[in-house]
Amino acid sequence: MKTLYTILTLIPLACACGGGASDPDELLFDALSMPREPTVALDGFASAEQCGLCHEAHYREWSTSGHAYAMIDPVFRAFVAVRQEHYGGKQDMFCLQCHSPIGTRGGEIVPGFEFADLQPITLEGVTCESCHKVASLARPYNSGHLLDPDGPMRGTITAPAVSGAHESQFSPLHGDASFCAGCHDLREVSGLVLERPYGEWQGSPAAAAGVQCQGCHMPRYEGQAVAGGPARTLHRHAWIGAGIPLLEGFVTAEEEASLRAEVKRLLAGSARVDIMPAATSVRAGEVVDLLVTVENNISAHNFPTGSTFNRQAWIEVVVRDGAGRIVFATGTLDADGEPRGSSGAGPGAGEPLRLGSILVDARGEPVLFPWRATEHVSNALEPLGERVFRLRVPTTRAARGPLSAEARVLFRAFSPTALRALGLDEYVARLEIHEVSRDHTSVELRAP
């Protein structure tokens, strides 16, 4: 029987939806983001490649991003296939409304659609004009943007230069955290809240200080928005997050190495772990009490955030005796590559020390798929929050002292068990475990 921790890692990436209850036997529609009839024309939008003819730097950045990856991600496609099977195509717009807002509103996403049949602008995912043709925000969740294909290109440049290519207009919305909420805060068809980084931000120290999402995820730099244009303060369009594309060939080897370095840097400062014993020495054969404190260093949102039911964040603790033998461990990997509970029987035995969330059904049982859930239970750390875990470590297996204990906060974007369950075994080897933080301590062993 799988543990709750294993099950939470199997839950798929959440997708946007219109919210509210829906009869699964009826076609799912939302007037804004999942319209019955197309509300925009696909040929009314320029491709990212076309934008890149002038905006070369931004195009290069976008092309390595999760936005560009949104429609070709094999994990996403596998989850879409499961939802298609579960609902017979009746909810096929559900996940696509955020992953390809242009394609969904343009009538490409219909019951039983095939990815192979979609036009290039739909397969571009969250492409340039998915954002820069947004006129307003109808709701801060579930693909809540209002697209204006005939309007100007909107952005955060306060005095955009006159261009023969397109009209430009300053938009304060594009520099506000609520803009990101339009897709990154997500609710199931039932109304169940699945992801809420914007909701977390609203009550955070970062929000109180006026720091927006874009301040961290779109770092500023000096450059030219277009070749030959004036020098400006620009915003990077790579939106570095917590994951690396699993699809080989999506980026070059050099780009992938750069992405991995940036993800590692981002995660390295996101949390801190401290481990300390309740006493600096104990008698041999007694139990050592270890206090493991984990602090969220992020002032803007939880750790972890986003699809926390899909992420893996946990604390690994390994205790060795004076001879270097392991006498206690929790959070180390089992044969399937999943974090295991503490080793051995006795005090401290149990499941891994985890951070994240689980989805459960009406009976309180963990479920794989968000559309089967009635409750979302989270123990993620709030912005700048902390949690203390207590471990009771037997010393009966120690040959001699002193005991050395090391704690690490580890993070992985997906569970290998989840990928295998989706038939994506070939991507398991590409999963990377990131060390977020590490600390160590020691305890003297006195004679009995």
Asked if residue 175 and residue 32 are part of one domain, the reply reads yes
Asked if residue 284 and residue 188 are part of one domain, the reply reads no
**Which helix (DSSP H) or strand (DSSP E) does residue 351 occupy?**
none
Asked if residue 440 and residue 296 are part of one domain, the reply reads yes
Asked if residue 406 and residue 314 are part of one domain, the reply reads yes
Asked if residue 290 and residue 227 are part of one domain, the reply reads no
The per-residue pLDDT for 22 is 57
The per-residue pLDDT for 347 is 45
CATH number at residue 287: 2.60.40.10
Give all strands (DSSP E) within 236-382, no chain letters: 271-277, 281-283, 287-296, 312-320, 326-330, 353-355, 357-360, 375-378
The per-residue pLDDT for 197 is 97
| Helix (H/G/I), strand (E/B), else coil: 213 | helix
Asked if residue 166 and residue 76 are part of one domain, the reply reads yes
Residue 414 domain-assigned? Answer: yes
The per-residue pLDDT for 90 is 95
The per-residue pLDDT for 163 is 72
Asked if residue 290 and residue 173 are part of one domain, the reply reads no
Residue 253 domain-assigned? Answer: no
The per-residue pLDDT for 448 is 81
Asked if residue 206 and residue 89 are part of one domain, the reply reads yes
Residues comprising the chain, all counted: 448
pLDDT-based confidence at residue 23 (cuts at 50, 70, 90): low
- Domain end, chosen from 239, 257, 286, is at 239
Residue 257 domain-assigned? Answer: no
Most confident range (mean pLDDT) of 161-175, 200-214, 222-236, 343-357 is 200-214
Percentage of the chain surpassing pLDDT 90? 82
pLDDT-based confidence at residue 5 (cuts at 50, 70, 90): very low
Mean pLDDT of 289-300: 98
- According to DSSP, residue 429 is labeled G
Percentage of the chain surpassing pLDDT 70? 93
The per-residue pLDDT for 447 is 86
Encoded tokens for 88 = 């017979």
Residue 247 domain-assigned? Answer: no
Least confident of 222-226, 330-334, 384-388, 437-441: 222-226
Environment class of residue 261 by beta-carbon count within 10 Å: exposed (0-12), middle (13-18) or buried (19+)?
exposed
CA-CA distance, 376 to 309, in Å (whole number)? 8
Least confident of 8-17, 49-58, 138-147, 323-332: 8-17
**Short-list 98, 97, 310, 301, CA closest to 199:** 301
Residue 381 domain-assigned? Answer: yes
Q: Which residue has the higher pLDDT, 86 or 243?
A: 86
Mean pLDDT of 33-46: 97
Asked if residue 84 and residue 153 are part of one domain, the reply reads yes
The per-residue pLDDT for 367 is 84
Contacts of 240 (CB under 8 A, 6+ apart): 217, 259, 262, 263, 266
Q: pTM higher than 0.85 for the full model?
A: yes
Q: What is the pLDDT of residues 87-103, one digit of tens each?
A: 999 999 999 999 999 99
The CA angle 108-109-114, to the nearest 5 degrees, is 95
Mean pLDDT, the chain, as a whole number?
91
Q: What is the pLDDT of residues 374-402, one digit of tens each?
A: 999 999 999 999 999 999 999 998 989 89
Environment class of residue 121 by beta-carbon count within 10 Å: exposed (0-12), middle (13-18) or buried (19+)?
buried
Q: Which residue has the higher pLDDT, 403 or 349?
A: 403
Asked if residue 218 and residue 139 are part of one domain, the reply reads yes
Q: How many domains, the chain? A: 2
Give the residue numbers spanning the domain of 47: 4-239
Q: Which residue has the higher pLDDT, 145 or 9?
A: 145
Least confident of 70-74, 152-156, 224-228, 439-443: 224-228
Residue 393 domain-assigned? Answer: yes
Question: For the range 320-324, what are the long-range contacts, defined as Cβ-Cβ under 8 Å and sequence gap of 24 or more?
Answer: 320/403, 320/404, 320/405, 321/397, 321/398, 321/399, 321/400, 321/401, 321/403, 321/445, 322/398, 322/399, 322/400, 322/401, 322/402, 322/403, 322/445, 323/399, 323/400
Asked if residue 56 and residue 104 are part of one domain, the reply reads yes
Asked if residue 212 and residue 97 are part of one domain, the reply reads yes
| pLDDT score of 433 more than 90 | yes
- Domain end, chosen from 202, 224, 239, is at 239
Q: What is the pLDDT of residues 66-86, one digit of tens each?
A: 999 999 999 999 999 999 999
Give all strands (DSSP E) within 113-267, no chain letters: 134-137, 145-147, 153-155, 168-170, 186-187, 193-195, 220-224, 231-235
Residue 256 domain-assigned? Answer: no
Residue 244 domain-assigned? Answer: no
CA-CA distance, 432 to 412, in Å (whole number)? 6
